[in-house]
């Protein structure tokens, strides 16, 4: 299991990073050195069924499965003090649910471009609006033929999942999100970054929702992958937020 974990060390507070749908912990390659320079202990985790994480065939890949996977790693690493949890996209949904389930374990929460949708119908519509590439790898009936090609062309950097882990996480995590309700109840200091170049429905839903006073919303001119394409801005936002909490 520990192949799916990288503990980069550091003597400060622990930050745990959770990547998004269809990706792996390599997503954080630009952010990790900046957080280490800030003095944090940084840990990246491949979510269950993705990257180098186990891909069991006999589970659903629902929230509880993903949370159990994270807890197992946290316990094995001996992380006993409350830690900072940062999640991107689907990783943010799992991070939010984790913080609601185990609030005593989380000191601060950072959610980058998480799908802010009200129901499965709205989620499917948003994801299908991503264009030909997005539709083909997520909802196309030919997606099981497309992913092996993606793996080959990316030299096994992308698509490191199974049909079960992909479809299960899509239907039971992303399409079953309750993040709006969670953000209305949380007492954990939370930074929510949304991009004006990302799916518009996320911003519309946040603006029309009553969030907890613990949530700080930051809407910036970024796309869905700020930790890759807008790393300086993303790091600055996270750094300022954590220093003031």
Residue 21 burial (CB count, 10 A): 20
Give the chain's domain count: 1
Could you tell me if 91 and 47 are in contact, meaning their C-beta atoms sit under 8 angstroms apart? yes
Q: Where are the beta strands (DSSP E) in the chain?
A: 5-7, 14-18, 41-45, 83-88, 106-112, 190-195, 215-220
pLDDT at 130: 64
Task: Report how far residue 213's alpha carbon sits from residue 139's, in angstroms, rounded to the nearest whole number.
Answer: 36
Structural domain boundaries enclosing 47? 2-243
What confidence category does residue 160 fall into, taking pLDDT thresholds of 50, 70 and 90?
Answer: confident
Mean of pLDDT values over 36-62: 97
What confidence category does residue 26 fall into, taking pLDDT thresholds of 50, 70 and 90?
Answer: very high
Task: Report how far residue 163's alpha carbon sits from residue 147's, in angstroms, rounded to the nearest whole number.
Answer: 9
pLDDT at 15: 98
**Residue 47 DSSP code:** P
> In this model, does residue 168 exceed pLDDT 60?
yes
Q: What is the CATH number of the domain that holds 141?
A: 3.40.50.1820
Mean of pLDDT values over 44-49: 98
What is the residue-averaged pLDDT of the chain? Answer: 93
pLDDT at 27: 95
Burial letters 52-86, b for 16+ CB under 10 A, else e: bbebeeebebebebbbebbeebbeebebeebbbbb
Could you tell me if 191 and 109 are in contact, meaning their C-beta atoms sit under 8 angstroms apart? yes
What confidence category does residue 234 fall into, taking pLDDT thresholds of 50, 70 and 90?
Answer: very high
- Whole-model pTM: value is 0.94
pLDDT at 131: 60
> In this model, does residue 132 exceed pLDDT 60?
no
Task: Report how far residue 204's alpha carbon sits from residue 214's, in angstroms, rounded to the nearest whole number.
Answer: 20
pLDDT at 125: 87
Task: Report how far residue 20's alpha carbon sits from residue 111's, in angstroms, rounded to the nearest whole number.
Answer: 11
């Amino acid at each position: 299991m520990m192949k799916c974990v990288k503990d980069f060390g550091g003597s400060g507070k622990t930050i745990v990073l959770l990547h998004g749908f269809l990706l792996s912990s390599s997503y954080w390659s630009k952010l990790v050195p900046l957080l280490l320079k800030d003095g944090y202990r940084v840990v990246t985790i491949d979510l269950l069924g993705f990257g180098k994480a186990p891909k069991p065939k006999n589970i659903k890949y629902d929230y509880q499965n993903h949370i159990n996977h994270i807890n197992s790693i946290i316990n094995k690493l001996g992380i006993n003090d409350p830690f900072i949890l940062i999640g991107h996209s689907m990783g943010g949904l799992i991070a939010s649910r984790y913080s609601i389930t185990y609030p005593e374990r989380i000191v601060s929460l950072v959610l980058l471009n998480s799908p802010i949708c009200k129901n499965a119908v709205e989620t499917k519509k948003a994801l299908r609006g991503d264009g030909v590439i997005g539709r083909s790898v997520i909802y196309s009936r030919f997606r099981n033929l497309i992913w092996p090609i993606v793996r080959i062309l990316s030299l096994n950097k992308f698509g490191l999942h199974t049909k079960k882990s992909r479809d299960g996480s899509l239907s039971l995590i992303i399409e079953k999100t309750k993040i709006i309700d969670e953000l209305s109840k949380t007492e954990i200091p939370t930074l929510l970054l949304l991009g004006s170049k990302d799916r518009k429905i996320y911003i519309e839903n946040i603006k029309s929702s009553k969030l907890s006073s613990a949530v700080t919303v930051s809407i910036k001119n970024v796309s869905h992958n700020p930790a890759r394409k807008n790393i300086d801005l993303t790091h600055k936002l996270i750094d300022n937020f954590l220093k003031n909490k």
